[in-house]
């Protein structure tokens, strides 16, 4: 989550005990602190941070104890495999067929150190040593090495840490690294890295959501899209499009989030386009700052969103009782952005036929009476977002004020057809087959380890991992 979002903070009450119990990362709760200007490295803790564990914790969802490193244990997570996939693979190999191309993907918000400093009140349950960047980086690198994913999408990657530590470390492990810093004065951004032994880079496409000419898009969030070619799969049907983003945090600005998402989807559609009019398989990762029951999430999964009369504060579902009832405008973003309501780039102007003009007029009329946005990517979520047969929600981020899901891995799922193997299905058309995922945990498990970060897990987010198969 982007904890640096500061628009527009209401007046603060004098007593910390009287603070409104609204969303914990809402900007009105963020202490306005400036980073040191004495040349101190960003890896050091500023003086004011050295005593944060002694400050009274503002009211929130959790009551976390002061961390004792000797008692904290790691979170146990198990791989969940898709039933029947492995047996089908063995049958195929036994018949002498070519082995399929399997690969793994990780998505991980690693918590920028500068944002940690700016929002220290969220981490008062932590003992100070585990908040130090040198300690955190060591842990994060161990996680990356342990999971050994073929493709890694990282959010909240601080630029100086990326250049001096993260990139060199990952390159030494055989990864190729790409990075896009947020626009403006923001120090962090998104990175996508992949194993050079498994993929080659076809093209790289950074996406900036800031548009000086569009008042709605005045934020510095970014995305990063890579088109990758499998190097061990001569018979694979296509390349793979990997996209990574970190959308705006502000719960009250669902209009901005939808516009940012539309820009990303338009670029994905362009990059992943195939000559036959289809798209190559897509993996979309990131911190979307939206919960699984939100309209924004539904838009990604269902490929359309009817938004007439929808309150802006309800788009991301981050607040149970969003303040204000200002509704989304129709259309959400202006035509000057150059993106249609189908999340495609506007075609070059040309002379339309009478029939095309009539269809365009009818579509415009329908958009006014039943406003909606759409996209052409058929995306599924790796995770179900529920544990224990739907009784508990999965959690991807947790600190002293909240525990929710905002991180996702979406993918283009291949349709299933008839297989030549008994009791097996075979993917048909362009798409990916989900093989397994690293299970998430619930609120109870995170409370047992005193939330995040802790001694063993050095971000306030958990990494998401999935294994896919690209059919041939």
Residue 5 included in any domain = no
Determine the pLDDT at residue 235: 66
Other Cβ atoms within 10 Å of 413 Cβ, number: 18
Query: Which one, of 262, 205, 260, lies nearest residue 228 by Cα?
Result: 205
Nearest in space to 34 (alpha carbons), one of 107, 120, 106: 120
pLDDT digits (tens, 9 = 90+) for 292-325: 999 999 999 999 999 999 999 999 999 887 776 7
Between CA 160 and CA 162 the distance in angstroms is 5
CATH of the domain at 167: 3.60.10.10
| Residue 367 domain flag | yes
**Cross-strand bridge partners of residue 234:** none
Residue 16 domain-assigned?
A: no
Domain count, the chain: 1
pLDDT (tens digit, 9 = 90+) per residue, 314-355?
999 998 877 767 999 999 999 899 999 999 999 876 576 787
Token pair for 336? 């000057």
Give per-residue pLDDT as tens, 211-229. Answer: 999 999 999 999 999 999 9
Task: Dig out the tokens for 262 from the structure.
Answer: 């539309």
SS (H, E, C) 144-176: HHHHCCCEEEEEEEEHHHHHHHHHHHHHHCCEE
Asked whether residue 418 is assigned to any structural domain, the reply reads: yes
Q: Domain span at residue 390?
A: 21-30+40-470
Q: How far apart are CA 369 and CA 22, in angstroms?
A: 34
Q: DSSP for 220-244?
A: --EEEEEEEEESS-TT-SS-EEEEE
- Is 1 within a domain? no
Read off φ and ψ for residue 464, nearest 5 degrees. -100, 140
Q: Which of 381, 189, 220, 219 is nearest to 290 (CA)?
A: 381
Model pTM score: 0.83
Rounded-to-5 percentages of helix, strand, coil across the chain: 25, 25, 50
pLDDT at res. 40: 37
- Report the alpha-carbon distance of residue 312 to residue 136 in Å, rounded: 36
Model pLDDT, residue 355: 79
Burial class (CB in 10 A: 0-12, 13-18, 19+), 149: buried
Give residue 319's pLDDT.
86
Q: What is the pLDDT of residue 3?
A: 57
Residue 180 CB coordination number (10 Å): 22
Q: What is the pLDDT of residue 182?
A: 98
Residue 271 belongs to a domain: yes
Q: Where are the alpha helices (DSSP H) in 223-326?
A: 254-271, 295-302
283: Cα separation from own chain's centroid: 11
- Tell me the C-alpha to C-alpha distance, in Å, between residue 139 and each of 142, 156, 416: 5, 16, 40
User: Strands 240-246 and 282-287: what pairing?
Assistant: parallel
Mean pLDDT of each 10-residue bin along the chain, 472 residues long: 50 38 39 37 42 33 41 78 66 59 97 96 95 98 98 98 98 98 96 98 98 97 98 80 98 97 98 94 98 98 96 93 84 94 85 71 69 97 94 95 96 73 55 96 94 96 97 74
Q: Are 106 and 149 in contact (CB under 8 A)?
A: yes
Q: Is 6 inside any structural domain?
A: no
Cβ distance 228 to 265 under 8 Å? no
Residues paired with 464 in a beta bridge: 107
- What integer pLDDT is reported at residue 86 of this predicted model? 56
Residue with tokens 């700052």: 289
Q: Is residue 11 part of a domain?
A: no
């Amino acid at each position: 989550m982007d904890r640096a979002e500061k628009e527009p903070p209401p007046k603060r009450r004098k007593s910390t005990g009287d603070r409104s119990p609204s969303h914990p990362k809402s900007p009105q709760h963020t202490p306005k602190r400036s980073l040191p200007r004495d040349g101190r490295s960003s890896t050091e803790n500023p003086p004011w941070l050295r005593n944060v564990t002694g400050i009274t914790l503002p009211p929130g969802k959790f009551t976390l104890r002061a961390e004792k490193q000797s008692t904290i244990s790691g979170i146990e997570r198990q791989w969940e495999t898709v039933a029947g996939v492995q047996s089908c693979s063995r049958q195929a190999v036994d018949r002498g067929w070519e082995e399929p191309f399997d690969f793994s993907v990780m998505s991980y918000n690693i918590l920028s150190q500068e944002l940690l400093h700016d929002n220290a009140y969220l981490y008062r349950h932590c003992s100070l040593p585990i908040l130090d960047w040198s300690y955190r980086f060591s842990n994060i690198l161990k996680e990356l090495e342990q999971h050994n994913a073929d493709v890694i999408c990282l959010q909240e990657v601080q630029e100086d840490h990326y250049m001096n530590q993260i990139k060199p470390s990952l390159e030494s492990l055989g990864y190729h690294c790409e990075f896009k810093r947020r626009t403006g004065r923001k120090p962090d951004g998104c990175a996508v890295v992949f194993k050079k032994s498994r993929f080659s880079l076809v093209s790289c496409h950074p996406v900036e959501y800031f548009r000086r000419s569009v008042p709605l898009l005045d934020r510095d969030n970014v995305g990063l899209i890579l088109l990758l070619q499998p190097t061990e799969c001569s018979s694979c049907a296509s390349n793979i499009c990997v996209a990574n983003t970190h959308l705006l945090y502000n719960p009250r600005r669902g209009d901005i989030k939808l516009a940012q998402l539309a820009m990303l989807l338009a670029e994905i559609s362009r990059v992943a386009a195939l000559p036959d009019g289809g798209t190559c398989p897509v993996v979309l990762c990131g911190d979307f700052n939206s919960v699984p029951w939100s309209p924004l999430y539904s838009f990604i999964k269902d490929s359309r969103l009817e938004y007439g009369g929808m309150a802006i504060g309800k788009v991301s579902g981050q607040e149970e009782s969003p303040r204000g009832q200002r509704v989304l405008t129709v259309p959400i973003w202006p035509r000057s952005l150059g993106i249609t309501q189908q999340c495609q780039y506007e075609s070059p102007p040309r002379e339309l036929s009478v029939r095309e003009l009539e269809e365009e007029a009818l579509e415009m009329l329908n958009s006014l009476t039943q406003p909606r946005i759409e996209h052409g990517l058929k995306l599924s979520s790796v995770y179900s977002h529920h544990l224990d047969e739907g009784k508990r929600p999965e959690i991807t981020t947790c600190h002293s004020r909240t525990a929710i899901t905002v991180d996702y891995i979406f993918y283009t799922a291949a349709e299933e057809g008839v297989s030549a193997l008994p009791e097996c299905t075979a993917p048909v058309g362009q798409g990916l087959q989900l093989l397994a995922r690293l299970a998430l945990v619930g609120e109870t498990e995170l409370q047992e380890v005193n939330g995040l970060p802790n001694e063993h897990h050095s971000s306030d987010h958990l990494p998401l991992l999935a294994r896919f198969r690209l059919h041939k």
